[in-house]
Amino acid sequence: MAELKTYNYTPRDFKSDQEVRWCPGCGDHAVLNAVQKALTELGIPKEKFVFVSGIGCSSRFPYYMDTYGFHGIHGRASAIATGVKTANPELSVWQITGDGDALAIGGNHFIHVVRRNVDINIILFNNEIYGLTKGQYSPTSEKGLVTKTSPFGTVEEPFSVGELVIGAKGKFFARTLDSNVALSTQIYIEAAKHKGASVVEVLQNCVIFNDGIHDVVAGREVREDRTIVLKHGEPMIFGKNNDKGLVLDGLKLKVVSLGENGITEKNLIVHDAMEPNPGIQYMLANMRYPEYPMALGVIRSVPGHTYENDLVEQINHIQKDAKINSVTDLLASGSTWKVE
Amino acid sequence: MAKNSEVIKREEVVIRFSGDSGDGMQLTGTLFSDTAALYGNDLSTFPDYPAEIRAPQGTVGGVSGFQVHLGHSEINTPGDYADVLVAMNPAAIKANAMWVRPGGTIIFDKDNFTDKNIEKAGYLNDPVKEEKIENYNIIAAPISSMVKEALKDFGLDPKSVLRTKNMFALGMVYWLFDRKLKYTEQYFEKKFSKKPEMAEANKVALRAGYYYAETIEALNPVIKIEPAEIAQGTYRNISGNAATAWGFIAAAEKAGLKLFVGSYPITPATGILEELAARKDLGVKSFQAEDEIAGICTALGASFAGNLAVTSTSGPGLALKSEAIGLAVMAELPVVVVNVQRGGPSTGLPTKTEQADLMQALFGRNGECPVVVIAASTPSDCFRYAYEAAKIALEHMTPVLLLTDGYLANGSEPWKIPLVSELPGIRPPFADSKDVPFLPYKRDCETLVRSWAIPGTPGLEHRIGGLEKTLKGTVSYIPENHEMMVKFRADKVAKVAGSIPDLDVYGEDSGDLLVLGWGGTKGYLLTAVRELQSEGYKASLAHFNYINPLPVNMCDVFRKFKKIVVAELNMGQFADYLRMKCQEFRYEQINKVQGIPFTIKELKDKCIKILEEK
């Protein structure tokens, strides 16, 4: 592989001259900062970045980036981004979306971009609510959530993003907290480096309509005991005092305390994000408090063919022995006859 | 193969092949058309098939037809009434008897006229008697038993044997019109190159049919259609869908751009996607989307990234694409949306033709949302108008809606192959990399067209989107800015009128009646108007390909006629549009909404009635 070029960018180089209009205290600000930071470390020239979005609070994101950007229509960012990447595979294409944009109105495009494994990086801001339309429940809202359109609580089962990604044959899934800029930056870099559709779920706080929805796991006081940051090749340890871990108990994951019942680090599962069989990754993605810690970090990262690469290869392969090399050849192909 | 029968020459003839949708009638008709075209006849074809792939066997609903009109003189339509009908079963008679010229020839497979099949077709007893066609030239050929006999030594299973029935019938028709079997035999050799026994079986069935017709002197005299007087050049047969696809490929090559198509399969537009998907040799990137919306949205992404981007669909699909067309209008990105119109509303008549999506094309979006709308008028000129649509989209940075229809899409005709060097140049307004800071909505003073900065170009980073914005691309809710931008977008589309040709008149440029049409009805209107002219009526035709904007000379053309009639396959959408755009005239109407084209006869009758009214 060619060595990464350095462009000596600073996050400031990726800030556009637009005033950022998210609510004060919104988790989106931190995501913007982390992404701008991540871009400086990719060795990709600025003109090759394209940010595509749909509709929703998070979808204003491209306006705040001094890169190429396309603010699309509700739910369709996956399709637009697919078109950009297919047209020019040299570009680094990022899709900014939310739980409503990607999983409700854009659900079809979302599962298909993941299935096709188009090499784009999808940052899914999950605040479990519709913010821009001012507080209606979303496809990730917990059952029973009281909102303006569910005044007596929702009666719907929510999607789990990781479960959906794995179900759609996804090869990269990671999760982070909006407030953890250091972890987020690292995850965005890994998502960008992964060849194929990378989905990063950001547990993002909407200060106005769903404030504190992730606090049960993301709150400063409890975070370390209620989340686990997974690292490929490392045993699954978590907790303020690094005293808890995950083991496989039969066919299920189980939280254990190190030092109790003779459990040591050696008994813990070692995280393998690159294992093609998604069985354990699926369980990790679906862990929820209080039974389990919420998994953060790169949960699944499996190499695979990308759509745009295979398409280009197919075109190159066919063109090698093609008899039709121009429109003139095409028009003259097949049965023709001359009138003198 | 010498002929004993007498031979007479005719100017033109119409043949209709019909049978169960599994009987291979589309192939049979296509093979006959190819042979006629290679011989030098002018021709026009029209397939007419059910939406169901295999409707219940033997029922009228399952009848698939293919009509071909060939001539020694210019042919503009697939013809109203057939001189020869091939009917593989009683249901085919039921569906088509009324479309046979009185006294015409009907060939049918006698073996298939069992009591059960006769009943299935809805007859009580002999179809010939019930249809009162006894005095027609009825050829009751035992086609099934003849192919069984001819192929008995081939060791083929009974199903494969019976599958050659259509070739027996085709052989008979070849004899009727004194045609050579060569091209069809070559087709078998190519198609069955890995199954030589199937190639041979089809050849044997074809020849058996030919000799059978000769033996029974199926038609006396035999009809000969001499080659047509056609301009010099190299020709090929082409369908509307293939011509549309090729027009885009040519435009991409001429503009120096890659071609991207994002589409979802839908009848009758699927052929465009299929044709483009097969053109990997020319580097076409074809994307079969998860739905209609993804079709256009991937195209918009590809357009943003600098490709010539197109999406193809039919009426219901256009409805689904509406919001994204609005985005293209707002973002001012080039994209061509092809709508192969079919019978509507809703699922409607998927395999039938209609022109009822005009208002949808012009106005079917939210907000003030003008797009360029153009329409092709013959199967082969789909190439020209697809090319034009791409040229206008790229040079004016606007979505263009190209309207064709089921009749054009599946119909075919001989086409004089154009020279690529003679196609007009295409020059997209690429942004200059020195043009920094790049303002995405800064416009050319003359054309109001913005420039196109392609991602990957250093220094031209910018943002576009569906929100209202200033010339810099900044989101703006300022009332005056919105109104100004709405007007800019409208004026930009209106200014396309400066680069489209004048409206032509077929016939005298003044007279008693001006017939107006648009899109796929041209061949019918032209034939009807020419017949009226030869009968002494002062009638002319003006046919529209450019619908928005309209040609600038339009009203001047209209003024020179006493009466104007708009003929279209809908309830009067173009007439209403003209009433809006050019209010000084009175527009009579001829309308038909049956899923089938006009007939020349009905057009003439209605025109004469209008001419005679005080």
Segments making up each domain of chain A, as ranges: 11-213
B302 to A83: CB separation less than 8 angstroms, yes or no: yes
Domains: count for chain B:
3
Same domain, B128 and B77: yes
- Checking ipTM against 0.95, whether it exceeds it is yes
A277 pLDDT higher than 80: yes
Range B596-610 average pLDDT: 96
Residues of A in contact with B327 (CB under 8 A): 72-73
B301 to A315: CB separation less than 8 angstroms, yes or no: no
Predicted pLDDT of residue B1: 43
**Alpha-helical regions (H) of B397-445:** 406-410
- The shortest CB-CB distance from B293 to any of A50, A79, A318 is to A79
The verdict on residue B393 lying in a domain is: yes
Distance from CA of B231 to the nearest CA of A (A): 7
Range A87-103 average pLDDT: 98
- Hey, of A5, A57, A335, A338, which one would you mutate to test binding to chain B, going by the most B CBs within 10 A of its CB? A335
Q: How does pLDDT run across A224-271, given as a tens digit for each residue?
A: 999 999 999 999 999 999 999 999 999 999 999 999 999 999 999 999
**Residue B601 near residue B80 (C-beta atoms within 8 A):** yes
Same domain, B135 and B89: yes
The total of other beta-carbon atoms located within 10 Å of residue A168's CB is: 18
CA distance readout (Å), B605 to A76, B161, B521, B600, B601: 51, 47, 16, 9, 6
Q: Which residue of A has its CA nearest to B326?
A: A73
Distance from CA of B127 to the nearest CA of A (A): 40
At B557, which CATH number? 3.40.50.920
Domain end among B199, B224, B249: B224
Range B385-394 average pLDDT: 98
B51 pLDDT higher than 90: no
- The shortest CB-CB distance from A335 to any of B38, B324, B461 is to B38
Predicted pLDDT of residue B3: 47
Domain end among B201, B224, B247: B224
The total of other beta-carbon atoms located within 10 Å of residue B435's CB is: 14
Same domain, B201 and B269: no
Same domain, B63 and B200: yes
B461 to A86: CB separation less than 8 angstroms, yes or no: no
Range B325-329 average pLDDT: 98
The verdict on residue B410 lying in a domain is: yes
Q: How does pLDDT run across B427-447, given as a tens digit for each residue?
A: 999 999 888 899 999 999 999
Q: How does pLDDT run across B5-28, given as a tens digit for each residue?
A: 677 888 999 999 999 988 999 999
**B39 or B484, which is more confident?**
B484
Q: How does pLDDT run across B244-264, given as a tens digit for each residue?
A: 999 999 999 999 999 999 999
pLDDT band at B4 (very low <50, low <70, confident <90, very high): low
The verdict on residue B465 lying in a domain is: no
Residues of A in contact with B250 (CB under 8 A): 327
Predicted pLDDT of residue B2: 43
Domain end among B418, B442, B466: B418
A308 pLDDT higher than 70: yes
pLDDT band at B242 (very low <50, low <70, confident <90, very high): very high
pLDDT band at A340 (very low <50, low <70, confident <90, very high): confident
Give the H or E element holding residue B159: helix B158-162
């395999």: which residue's tokens? B351
Q: What percent of chain B has pLDDT over 90?
A: 89
A1 pLDDT higher than 60: no
Q: How does pLDDT run across B107-121, given as a tens digit for each residue?
A: 999 999 999 999 999
A338 pLDDT higher than 90: no
> What is the interface size between A and B, counted as CB pairs within 8 Å?
203
Using CA atoms, how far apart are residues B406 and B313, in angstroms rounded to an integer?
Answer: 11
- A28 phi and psi angles, rounded to 5 deg: -60, -35
- Residue B263 pairs in a beta bridge with B288
Same domain, B163 and B294: no
Q: The domain containing residue B599 runs over which residues?
A: 511-612
Range A81-109 average pLDDT: 98
A282 pLDDT higher than 80: yes
Same domain, B385 and B288: yes
Residues of A in contact with B232 (CB under 8 A): 339-340
- Hey, of B463, B468, B469, which one would you mutate to test binding to chain A, going by the most A CBs within 10 A of its CB? B463
Round the average pLDDT of chain A to a whole number and report it: 96
Residues of B in contact with A88 (CB under 8 A): 305-307, 455-456
Comparing CA positions, the residue from A116, A118, A161, A115 lying closest to residue A140 is A161
Same domain, B200 and B291: no
B301 to A318: CB separation less than 8 angstroms, yes or no: no
Q: How does pLDDT run across B140-159, given as a tens digit for each residue?
A: 999 999 999 999 999 899 99
User: Which string of b and e fits B89-128 if b means at least 16 CB within 10 Å?
Assistant: bbbbbbbbbebbbeebbbbbbebbbeeebbebbebeeebb
Same domain, B312 and B218: no
Predicted pLDDT of residue A4: 60
- The shortest CB-CB distance from B307 to any of A18, A87, A336 is to A87
Architecture of the domain delimited by A11-213: 3-Layer(aba) Sandwich (3.40)
Q: What percent of chain B has pLDDT over 70?
A: 99
Q: Report the alpha-carbon angle B200-B205-B209, nearest 5.
A: 145
Round the average pLDDT of chain B to a whole number and report it: 95
Same domain, B326 and B369: yes
Same domain, B212 and B296: no
The verdict on residue B563 lying in a domain is: yes
Same domain, B403 and B258: yes
A83 to B304: CB separation less than 8 angstroms, yes or no: yes
Range A107-132 average pLDDT: 97
Cα of B248 vs its chain's centroid, Å: 16
B280 to A335: CB separation less than 8 angstroms, yes or no: no
* Lowest mean pLDDT, pick from A166-170, A305-309, A332-336, B136-140: A332-336
The verdict on residue B436 lying in a domain is: no
A73 to B466: CB separation less than 8 angstroms, yes or no: yes
B291 to A108: CB separation less than 8 angstroms, yes or no: yes
Q: Which residue of B has its CA nearest to A336?
A: B236
Same domain, B314 and B391: yes
